[in-house]
Structure 1
Amino acid sequence: MSVRVDWRQSVALTGTVTKYLAVAMLVPLGISFVYGEDTVVFLISIAIAIVVGLALEQVSDSHELGPREALLFVGLSWGAVAVIGAIPYVIAGYGTESALGEPVNALFESMSGFTTTGATATDEISFARHSHALLMWRQLTQWLGGMGIIVLMVAILPEAAVNGAQLIESEAPGPELQKLTPKIAETARLLWLFYLGFTVLYILILLGLHYTGYAPNMDAYNAVAHGFTTLPTGGFSPQAESIAYFSPAVQWAVIPFMLIAGMNFALFYLLLQDEYAAFLQDRELQAYLGANAGVAVILWGLLFTGSAPPLELGGITQGALENSLRQATFQVASLLNSTGYATSNFAEWGNTAQGVLLFAMFIGGSAGSTGGGVKIVRWLVVLKSIRRQLFTTAHPSAVRPVRLGGQVIDEDVINAIYGFTLLYLLTFGIATVFLLLDAGRVGLELTVFEAISASLATIGNIGPGFGFLGPFGTYELFPETSKLLMIFLMWIGRLEIIPVFVLFTGAFWNE
Structure 2
Amino acid sequence: MNIKLVLKLLGRILSMEAAVLVLPMAVALIYRESPMPFVWSILVILCVSLPLSFLPAQRHFHVREGFVSVGLLWLLTGIVGGLPFYFSGYFNSFIDCVFEASSGFTTTGATILTNIEALPYGILFWRAFTHWLGGMGVLVLVTAIVPSLGVRPHYLTQAETPGPVFSKLVPKQSQTSKILYQMYFALTLAEVVLLRICGLPLYDALIHSFSTAGTGGFSNRNLSVGAYGNPTAEIIIAIFALLFSLNFGLYFLLLQRRFKEALKSDEARFFLLLVAGSTALITINIMPIYENVWDSLRYAFFQVASIISTTGFATADFVLWPHFSQMILVILMFCGACAGSTGGGIKCSRVVMLLRSIRRELHRIAHPRSVEVVRLDGKPVEESTLHSVLVFIGFYILIILTAALVVSLDNVPFDISFSAALTCVSNVGPGLSTIGPSGNFSAFSPLSKVILSLCMIIGRLEIFPILVLFSRHTWRRN
Q: Per the shorter chain, which TM-score range?
A: over 0.9
**What is the SS of the residue equivalent to 2:116?**
coil
Q: Give deviations 1:181-230, integer Å, cap 9, x for gaps.
A: 110110011011110000000000011111xxxxxxx1010011111110
- Partners of 2:438 and 2:414 in 1: CA distance: 20
> 1:454 maps to which residue?
420
CA contact (8 A) 2:143 2:178 kept: yes
What are structure 2's unaligned runs of at least 5 residues?
none
Amino acid at match of 1:486: L
Pick the aligned partner of 1:385 from 344, 357, 374. Answer: 357
> 2:295 maps to which residue?
323
Output the TM-score relative to the length of structure 1. 0.91
Q: How much is the aligned-residue C-alpha RMSD, in angstroms?
A: 1.3
Pick the aligned partner of 1:36 from 32, 38, 44. Answer: 32
Matches within 5 A, 1:218-367: 218-246=200-228, 247-304=230-287, 306=288, 314=289, 317-318=290-291, 320-367=292-339
Measure how far apart 1:38 and its partner are: 2.6
Measure how far apart 1:59 and its partner are: 3.6
Pick the aligned partner of 1:404 from 376, 379, 383. Answer: 376
- Partners of 1:264 and 1:336 in 2: CA distance: 14
Pick the aligned partner of 1:113 from 104, 109, 119. Answer: 104
Pick the aligned partner of 2:159 from 153, 170, 186. Answer: 170
- Partners of 2:468 and 2:73 in 1: CA distance: 16
> 1:67 maps to which residue?
63
- Partners of 1:245 and 1:278 in 2: CA distance: 41
Amino acid at match of 2:44: I
Amino acid at match of 1:258: A
CA contact (8 A) 1:38 1:134 kept: no
> 1:443 maps to which residue?
none
> 1:155 maps to which residue?
143
CA contact (8 A) 1:63 1:159 kept: no
Measure how far apart 1:351 and its partner are: 1.7
Moved more, 51-60 or 8-17: 51-60
- Partners of 2:151 and 2:51 in 1: CA distance: 23
Amino acid at match of 2:96: N
Measure how far apart 1:249 and its partner are: 1.2
> 1:23 maps to which residue?
19
CA contact (8 A) 2:2 2:60 kept: no
Q: Taking structure 1 as reference, are residues 38 and 101 closer, same or farther at Cα in structure 2, changes over 3 Å only?
A: farther
Amino acid at match of 2:198: L
CA contact (8 A) 1:346 1:354 kept: yes
Measure how far apart 1:63 and its partner are: 5.2
- Partners of 1:144 and 1:410 in 2: CA distance: 33
Moved more, 35-44 or 322-331: 35-44
Measure how far apart 1:62 and its partner are: 4.2
Output the TM-score relative to the length of structure 2. 0.97
- Partners of 1:71 and 1:60 in 2: CA distance: 21
- Partners of 1:293 and 1:180 in 2: CA distance: 29
- Partners of 1:31 and 1:187 in 2: CA distance: 31
CA contact (8 A) 1:114 1:145 kept: yes
Percent identity between the aligned chains? 33
Measure how far apart 1:161 and its partner are: 7.7
Amino acid at match of 1:502: V
Amino acid at match of 1:193: Q
- Partners of 2:56 and 2:276 in 1: CA distance: 51
> 1:85 maps to which residue?
81
Moved more, 137-146 or 63-72: 63-72
Amino acid at match of 1:190: I
- Partners of 2:312 and 2:241 in 1: CA distance: 10
- Partners of 1:493 and 1:159 in 2: CA distance: 30
Matches within 5 A, 1:135-150: 135-149=124-138
> 2:52 maps to which residue?
56
Measure how far apart 1:176 and its partner are: 1.4
What are structure 1's unaligned runs of at least 5 residues?
211-217, 307-313, 441-445
Pick the aligned partner of 1:125 from 98, 116, 123. Answer: 116
CA contact (8 A) 1:118 1:235 kept: yes
Q: Is 1:423 matched up with 2:395? A: yes
Measure how far apart 1:488 and its partner are: 0.7
Q: Taking structure 1 as reference, are residues 161 and 59 closer, same or farther at Cα in structure 2, changes over 3 Å only?
A: closer
Q: Is 1:8 matched up with 2:4? A: yes
**What is the SS of the residue equivalent to 2:198?**
helix
Q: Give deviations 1:311-344, integer Å, cap 9, x for gaps.
A: xxx1xx12x1211111000000100121000001
Aligned residues: 475
- Partners of 2:202 and 2:130 in 1: CA distance: 19
Measure how far apart 1:398 and its partner are: 1.5
Amino acid at match of 2:428: I
Q: Give deviations 1:144-202, integer Å, cap 9, x for gaps.
A: 000112x1122222246842122111101111122111101100110111100000000
Amino acid at match of 1:112: S
Moved more, 409-418 or 352-361: 352-361
CA contact (8 A) 1:12 1:63 kept: no
- Partners of 1:231 and 1:190 in 2: CA distance: 16
Q: Give deviations 1:427-468, integer Å, cap 9, x for gaps.
A: 1111112211x112xxxxx21111111000101111101111
Q: Give deviations 1:76-135, integer Å, cap 9, x for gaps.
A: 111122111100111111xxxx3x241000000000000000000122101xx2110000
Measure how far apart 1:17 and its partner are: 0.6
- Partners of 1:450 and 1:275 in 2: CA distance: 46
Pick the aligned partner of 1:76 from 47, 72, 91. Answer: 72
Q: Taking structure 1 as reference, are residues 116 and 160 closer, same or farther at Cα in structure 2, changes over 3 Å only?
A: farther
> 2:407 maps to which residue?
435
Measure how far apart 1:60 and its partner are: 3.6
Amino acid at match of 1:170: A
**What is the SS of the residue equivalent to 1:508?**
coil
- Partners of 2:152 and 2:247 in 1: CA distance: 22
